[in-house]
Each structure stands twice: as structure tokens, then as C-alpha cells.
Amino acid sequence: MSDAASDAARPVRLVIITGLSGSGKSSIAKCFEDLDFYTVDNLPLPLLRDLLADPRSLVGERHSIAVVTDLRTPGFAAEFPRIVAEIDRELVRPTMLFLEASDEVLIRRFSETRRPHPLATNRSVAEGIEEERALMADLRAQADLVFDTSDSSIHESREFIYNEFAGRGAGPPAMIVSLVTFGFKHGIPRGSDLVLDVRFLPNPYFEENLRELTGRDDEVVAFLREQPDFGILLDKLEGLLDFLLPRYQTENRSYLSVAIGCTGGHHRSVAVGEALRSWLEDGEWPVRLIHRELDAQ
């Protein structure tokens, strides 16, 4: 059997995320997105039935799907158990993850967000929680995994999901390092976590034979490498990132954006960005490099 035929015959891995309102289903869904699951939230029940009956007809060749569904969906309590019972186990390999939390924690979360409980529009949150627990009791009993988020930080919740669904002990997916080179005269890129200013290096722009080139060109790189501070800078930046990246990774960061700026964003920042990309690739960090000013031309 060819690899393509083997993939087509493999059941789709499906995680059904359900549970109590306020238990953190949306945050957990983002963890599955980080694990490259195709993730959908709160589909109407007819569409959910179609998705679970034949996932590949709707999401193509994706082999891992996470679906968030709960009492926000009209008719959920009566209809959803029937939809689950209809799943063809030869096409779909389902796991039901039920999220819950203590009444005290749920009440506090609704108070902090100032959002109404879906079953308590005209009464207390506590009464809505009590009714929801009763309505969801049978579904909780059918769940493959029950996770109480009462005392879990977002980091601990992410670790739980990674361990259960990425392979026990696998840990989080590798953090992506996004390098963005730019010119300060055009503004600092939005969303930058770290901003590095390399304008202290001699500017190749003032060398007539280098002005029209960029930091991608060998001549510009050679000019910069002749400057003592260039090598020192790279050593120190590599040391800084060598210290920081594992610590950001420990905090379950999905990505880190490092902006590297010079005056125009054509020479010095580009050369530094290219050098750091090579160093990161050698260290097996997932990395992407964007030259903002060059790519805009």
C-alpha cells in the first residue's frame, strides 16, 4: 500500500472538548491548535454531525481534529450523545475530554469576566452551574479524560494537554523564533518581544560600491565581518539567545519575535538576521526570517 493510500485509510484522530461553562475550553482548544490539530468551536449540531460522520470531506487530509462543543449549542443536552453514538470508529478515533472546575472557581471566573452563565441569564451564576452539572453528568461519565482546571495555571493546563495528546513526556512543540529585520526610520514592528538596535555598526550605505546591495550580498557581509564589533555582537547575541530561548520555551511560549533594526533595514540588520538564522538552525530551533523593508520592495 502506498503512503498516500495508507494515510487515507488511517482513522482521523478526533478530540471532543466539552465540559462546564467557564472551565477553560477555549484556552485548551488553543493548546490543540499549537499541536497542529484542526480546531473548531461551537458548531451547530447539524454541522457537527456532518463533520463527525465524514471528517475528510470537510477538512481534507488533516488527521487530527479538535472540536469544542457544549451547552451553548441549542439542543446539545439531548442531541449530542446521539451524535457521539453515531461516530463510525473505522473512520474516526474519538477521545472525549471533559473539563470542569469547582463551583467557587467557576463563580469567580464569571465574576471576573462579567459574562453571564448560559443557564443563568435571569438568576444567580451558582444556580446555572448547579443545573449545568446535572445536565452534563451523563456526558462526564462517558468521557475518556476528565480534567479539573480549578487549581491549574494556563501553563499547567498546556503541559497536561501536551503530555496526553503529543505523547507522554513529549513536552510542548518547539517554540518558533521569528526574526524580523527592519529600518528604525520606518518604525519598530508591532508585536516584537525583543528589539535589537545594530545602528552602532559602520553603515555600508556610505560605501559607494555597497550602497545598492543588501545584507544578503557577500560584499556587504565581508565588509561587516571586517569590523571588530560585528563578530563581538554576534557572539553576545548568540549567548543572550542561548540563555533566553530555553527559558521562554519552559514558559510554553509558541513563538518569540525578535526584531533587529538598523537605519534603513537594508544592510546591517539584514546581515545580522541572516547570521542569527544560521546559528538558530544549527541549534535546531524552528526559525523564520522576514526582511520587512526588503520584502516590501
Domain harbouring 144, CATH code:
3.40.50.300
Last residue of a domain, one of 114, 143, 165: 165
Cell of 4: 498516500
Q: Tell me: the pLDDT tens digits for 90-145?
A: 888 889 999 999 999 999 999 888 888 888 878 899 999 999 999 999 889 888 89
Last residue of a domain, one of 146, 165, 184: 165
Number of domains in the chain: 2
Within 8 A by CB and 6+ apart from 294, the residues are: 181, 214, 216, 265, 266, 270
pLDDT in the model for residue 252: 64
- Is residue 235 assigned to a domain? yes
- Is residue 171 assigned to a domain? no
242 and 215 in a common domain: yes
Last residue of a domain, one of 116, 142, 165: 165
- Is residue 30 assigned to a domain? yes
28 and 142 in a common domain: yes
156 and 24 in a common domain: yes
121 and 219 in a common domain: no
Q: What are phi and psi of 44, to 5 degrees?
A: -55, 145
Q: Tell me: the pLDDT tens digits for 211-233?
A: 999 999 999 999 999 999 999 99
Confidence category of residue 190, pLDDT binned at 50, 70, 90: confident
Please report how the helices 76-85 and 45-53 are oriented relative to each other, as an axis angle in degrees rounded to 10: 10
125 and 228 in a common domain: no
State the average pLDDT over residues 189-200. 92
pLDDT in the model for residue 59: 65
Give CA–CA dist 63/84, Å, rounded: 18
The answer on pLDDT for 64 being more than 90 is no
pLDDT in the model for residue 3: 47
61 and 39 in a common domain: yes
Percentage of the chain modeled with pLDDT above 70: 92
pLDDT in the model for residue 168: 46
156 and 21 in a common domain: yes
232 and 149 in a common domain: no
Confidence category of residue 8, pLDDT binned at 50, 70, 90: low
* Greatest mean pLDDT range, 32-41, 61-70, 92-101, 220-229: 220-229
- Is residue 1 assigned to a domain? no
Of 170, 176, 230, 180, the C-alpha closest to 200 is: 230
Domain of residue 137 covers 9-165
153 and 71 in a common domain: yes
CB 176 within 8 A of CB 277: no
Confidence category of residue 250, pLDDT binned at 50, 70, 90: confident
